[in-house]
Amino acid sequence: MLKRLFSKRKKDQYGWFGHYSSWDKVASKTAGYDTDVILERTRDSMLKIKSGEAVYERDSVLFDKKEYPYSMIAFLMLSASLQKRPLNIIDFGGSLGTTYYQLKEFLTPDLCASWNIIEQEHYVTCGKANFENEVLKFYSSIDACQAEKKIDCIVLSSSVQYLEKPHEFLKKLAAYNFDFIIFDRTAFNRGEGDRLTLQVVPPSIYPASYPAWFFDMDFFLGHFSYRYKVVANFRSYVEGEANLLIDGKVAGTGQGFYLINLSTYA
């Protein structure tokens, strides 16, 4: 019994906590997302995937079997079919190529012309030095990428909830007027309104903590209502993300959405 109690107490130290009134209040308690240890562990894991020593990585953790985001694959294929040509894709917050390598066997020349990751500057530097190729590219901003090629589709997988001002970003995202938008693994609040939490990561992954949003779904999608049609919504493909715990209680859910620009395909 004591062993079970200790195990539960230790497990409860990690996950999502609180209902904070401001980003600064959470940030004062966290180590942040841009610590060197996260990049180092992610780089080491991705190098093993690149060399064929492992097949799949998520949050720097290596797996010997891939989990496929089948919904994303289907919507990328549909987008390329509608465009009748390969897609130039932005992967916003795509780390060092997690989703790219996860989908690599599906990203045929008929589907993907380029996969462009937007990341923090130190990730971009590392990505260019170790992972960039003729298809996979790294940029520090959407504008920098757009200056070199016309983007058809943007993928945002488990990234928007870690922005300090997500709704400002979502307004700008809608204004870019991309033909297709795919949100995946995005955290939504089961209650009303947005909820700002403290996320504590188990040290077995990496020692880190950072602010994390759970969004009001209607308000989130409202940024796109005048420009886009929500064609589909889907649950996160990652086991356990359908029901997310805050303070030990089910209070959130991991969701995805596929949006098509109204002006492109009425």
Residue 245 in tokens:
């715990």
Q: Burial, 125: exposed, middle or buried (Cβ in 10 Å; 0-12, 13-18, 19+)? A: middle
- pLDDT single digits (tens) 22-31: 999 999 888 6
Average pLDDT on 48-62 reads 82
In this prediction, residue 229 carries a pLDDT of: 96
Range of the domain at 193: 12-261
Q: Is there a contact between 46 and 59 (Cβ–Cβ < 8 Å)?
A: no
CB atoms within 10 A of CB 3: 7
Residue 7 pLDDT exceeds 80: no
User: pLDDT above 90 covers what percent of the chain?
Assistant: 71
In this prediction, residue 261 carries a pLDDT of: 97
Residue 3 pLDDT exceeds 80: no
* Alpha helices (H) in the chain, listed in sequence order: 2-11, 23-27, 36-51, 70-83, 98-103, 121-130, 142-146, 166-176, 217-222
- pLDDT single digits (tens) 100-156: 999 999 999 999 999 999 999 999 999 999 999 999 999 999 999 999 999 999 999
Residue 18 pLDDT exceeds 50: yes
In a domain, 235, yes or no: yes
In a domain, 1, yes or no: no
Average pLDDT on 2-17 reads 60
Average pLDDT on 234-244 reads 86
The amino acid sitting at 120 is Q
In Å, what is the CA distance from 243 to each residue of 41, 114, 206? 27, 34, 23
The upper half-sphere exposure of residue 223, i.e. CA atoms within 13 Å in the direction of its Cβ, equals 19
In the chain, the number of structural domains is: 1
Torsion of CA 197, 198, 203, 206, to 10 degrees: 80
In a domain, 2, yes or no: no
In a domain, 37, yes or no: yes
The confidence band for 204, taking pLDDT boundaries of 50, 70 and 90, is confident
In this prediction, residue 34 carries a pLDDT of: 56
In a domain, 257, yes or no: yes
In this prediction, residue 62 carries a pLDDT of: 80
In a domain, 4, yes or no: no
In a domain, 73, yes or no: yes
In this prediction, residue 11 carries a pLDDT of: 53
CATH value at residue 232:
3.40.50.150
pTM, two decimal places: 0.92
In this prediction, residue 9 carries a pLDDT of: 41
Residue 8 in tokens:
């539960």
The confidence band for 53, taking pLDDT boundaries of 50, 70 and 90, is confident
In Å, what is the CA distance from 153 to each residue of 17, 49, 168, 209? 33, 25, 20, 30
Residue 5 pLDDT exceeds 90: no
Residue 77 pLDDT exceeds 60: yes
What is the residue whose two structure tokens read 């058809």? 152
In a domain, 5, yes or no: no
In this prediction, residue 54 carries a pLDDT of: 82
Alpha carbon of residue 221 to chain centroid: 17
